[in-house]
Amino acid sequence: MTWIAIATGLLLVNMLAYAQFGRDKTRARAGQRRISEADLLFLAMIGGTIGAYAGRSRFRHKTRKESFSIRLHLIAMVQAGILIGLGWSWLTVP
């Protein structure tokens, strides 16, 4: 898999995560069927964390729900740890 494909995939999943937060907020206001928290967190887990945080901030959605916030922060911390680990391993490879 090329870096361009990975970057494109991450861009798309972040755009989708952002859009889903907006869509869920619209549905919440209209009293319609909602997008599950599990689905929103799954998008973050597969690489859409930045889009999830951006959508959350832009649409002021899920900002007061502490259990959701904790899980989103945990996902972000795990991803940061993975990135740090990968960066460290690339720096130490002879």
Residue 24 is inside which H or E element, if any? helix 3-30
Residue 72's CB: how many other CB atoms inside 10 A? 21
**pLDDT (tens place) for every residue of the chain, 94 residues total:** 788 999 999 999 999 999 999 999 999 999 999 999 999 999 999 999 999 999 999 998 887 889 999 999 999 999 999 999 988 877 776 6
pTM of the model: 0.87
Contact criterion met (CB below 8 Å) for 55 and 18:
yes
Distance, in Å, from the CA atom of 73 to the CA atom of 70, rounded to the nearest integer, reads 5
Domains in the chain: boundaries: 3-92
Rg (CA), the chain: 15
What is the CA angle 56-61-65, rounded to 5? 105
